[in-house]
Amino acid sequence: MDKLELFFFKRYLKAPKRNFFRFTFVFMVMGIVLSVGILSAGLNLFQGYESNLKSLLLDSFAHISIQSSYGELISEDELATIQKRLAKRGEIVSAIPSMEHPLMAQKGDKIRAITLRAYDFSQEFPYQKYIQDAKGELQSGEVIVGHYLAEELGLGIGDSIELNYPRFDRITPLGIHTAQNKYKIADLYRSGYYESDRSLVISTLKDARALLFLPEGYSRIELRLKDADKAGSFARAYSEVLGHDYIAIPWNLYAESLLRLVAMEKWLIFIVFSFLVLIAGINVISAVSTIIIDKRSEIAVLKSLGASPRSIKRLFAFRVGTVAILSVLIGQAFGALLSWFVEKQSFYSLKGDVYFIDTLGAKITFPNLTVVFLVASFLIFLCVMLPLRQIEKMQIIELIRHKR
């Protein structure tokens, strides 16, 4: 800023009403506030979706799952060795052995494919927070059922559910032998992650082994880490430590492509909504053009007194720019309000079978705020500078003669 620019800018700040809150700016401000608001709200909601989905994925699945390389069960002895080998790993929060097996659940003539997961309830149970009533330890003969699954089968707490295990290894003259057992639904599982809520059945280890005709042992060890984002590199390290009898599978092996897709969609939405800001930019162009025409005698005077066109351009840029930047900030606040409202409203919720999760949530992050601010300011800046080029072309003599 040179002396002249600084001088004018100080005058503008001294009399904001006269210089900033002008009628010419009303539509420009409205356009910026609305478009930036929608842009930020869109980004906030998508960010919320992304981080909700990620945290649900991280909570619903083991961060690293250790399994036998040959699909065999892990015996108690092996479990002890593995635990010993990983004991010094400070990043591991918990290591919980479990069973997992695909099964069929049945109620009357309704049949659903489910995943049975079994835990030792006298030890740690990792999904306690998703259990609706949390009445304490699960007993033998009882199961916890995903709430959508229960709904689809028309079941509730206290009802009984039948689990079937078709044994393809035991084909008899009468057909495939199917082991089946009835269990009482002790509780419902409600994580918000649609896939789990509609397919998960949790039982005690003892019941699962009995149903599956399996000896002692576990199908896997579920590890949870302090920092799930590092699961990939830790998994590689554990595979090395444990030798090739076991494999360590990080969570993101399955979920990464999904999360990448969601992140890509987020930025796609951002780009699309950025065009709204560009449309608001049209108002900016017209506001700036109006001011230039309004102030052409002032431009003529400054030019005749020897001010450079560059300096005059910057005078106008500072003036409109201040209003525009303020509008962008107000727009961001408006966007935060808008996304908060969408989060709190109850008219519309996500379809879990399409979006994996069923709650809308907004998340405001500092990097996103910065990105919106920079992108919006840059686009608006272009729209301010575009009409200002006229100033260079304006001839003093024409401006002076004009007034006659």
Partner 1 sequence: MILSAKDLKKTYIDSDQRIEVLTGACLDVAAGDLICITGKSGSGKSTMLHIMGLLDAPDSGELIMEGKKIEAKSPKAPTIRNRDLGFVFQFHYLVEDLTATENVALPLLIAGQSEAKAMARAKELLCILGLSERLKRYPNQLSGGEQQRVSLARALANRPKLVLADEPTGNLDPVHSKEVWDMILSLNKGEFRQTFVIVTHDVEAAQAADRVFELVNGILIPA
Residue 4 lies near partner 1 (rule: CB under 8 A): yes
Residue 88 lies near partner 1 (rule: CB under 8 A): no
Residue 185 lies near partner 1 (rule: CB under 8 A): no
Residue 6 lies near partner 1 (rule: CB under 8 A): yes
Residue 79, both tokens: 């479990």
Q: Smallest gap, in angstroms, from Cβ of residue 404 to partner 1?
A: 8
* Identified binder of partner 1 from the candidate list 306, 344, 347, 348, rule CB under 8 A: 306
Residue (of 85, 42, 389, 35) closest to 246 by Cα position? 85
Q: Smallest gap, in angstroms, from Cβ of residue 388 to partner 1?
A: 18
Tell the residue number behind the tokens 């503008």, with chain if given.
12
Residue 21 lies near partner 1 (rule: CB under 8 A): no
- Please list the alpha-helical segments (H only) found in 15-115: 16-19, 23-60, 76-86
Give the C-alpha separation, 303 to 316, whole Å: 14
* Identified binder of partner 1 from the candidate list 69, 123, 132, 304, rule CB under 8 A: 304
Residue 113 lies near partner 1 (rule: CB under 8 A): no
> 34-69 burial, b for 16+ CB within 10 Å, e for fewer?
bbbbbbbbbbbbbbbbbbbbbebbbbbbbbbbbbbe
* Identified binder of partner 1 from the candidate list 17, 351, 393, 403, rule CB under 8 A: 403
User: Closer CB to partner 1, residue 19 or residue 164?
Assistant: 19
Q: Smallest gap, in angstroms, from Cβ of residue 386 to partner 1?
A: 24
Give me the phi and psi of 5, to 5 degrees please: -65, -45
Secondary structure class of 112 (helix, strand, coil): strand
**Residue 286, amino acid:** S
Residue (of 75, 125, 276, 115) closest to 199 by Cα position? 115
User: Closer CB to partner 1, residue 67 or residue 311?
Assistant: 311
Q: Smallest gap, in angstroms, from Cβ of residue 14 to partner 1?
A: 11
Using CB under 8 A, count the residues that bind partner 1.
Answer: 26
User: Closer CB to partner 1, residue 298 or residue 343?
Assistant: 298
Residue 302 lies near partner 1 (rule: CB under 8 A): yes
Which positions from 270 to 299 touch partner 1 by CB under 8 A, shown as an x/- string? ---------------------------xx-
Residue 300 lies near partner 1 (rule: CB under 8 A): yes
Q: Which helix (H) or strand (E) holds 140?
A: none
Residue 310 lies near partner 1 (rule: CB under 8 A): no
* Identified binder of partner 1 from the candidate list 113, 174, 271, 305, rule CB under 8 A: 305
Residue 19 lies near partner 1 (rule: CB under 8 A): yes
Report DSSP letters for 336-376, one per residue. HHHHHHHHH--S----HHHHSB--------HHHHHHHHHHH
* Identified binder of partner 1 from the candidate list 303, 320, 323, 375, rule CB under 8 A: 303
Residue 17 lies near partner 1 (rule: CB under 8 A): no
Residue 218: DSSP 8-state: B
User: Do residues 209 and 67 lie in contact, with contact meaning Cβ atoms separated by under 8 Å?
Assistant: no
Q: Is 237 exposed, middle or buried (0-12, 13-18, 19+ CB in 10 A)?
A: middle
Q: Is 219 exposed, middle or buried (0-12, 13-18, 19+ CB in 10 A)?
A: buried
Residue 113, CA distances (Å) to 102, 152, 154, 223, 300 in order: 7, 12, 15, 26, 80
Q: Which of residues 236-265 bind partner 1 (CB under 8 A)?
A: none
Q: Smallest gap, in angstroms, from Cβ of residue 356 to partner 1?
A: 58
Q: Which one of the spans 2-10, 70-78, 252-260, 377-385 is the region binding partner 1 (CB under 8 A)?
A: 2-10
Q: Which of residues 371-400 bind partner 1 (CB under 8 A)?
A: 396-397, 400
Which residues contribute to the site for partner 1 (CB under 8 A)? 2-4, 6-7, 11, 15, 18-19, 297-298, 300-308, 311, 396-397, 400, 403-404
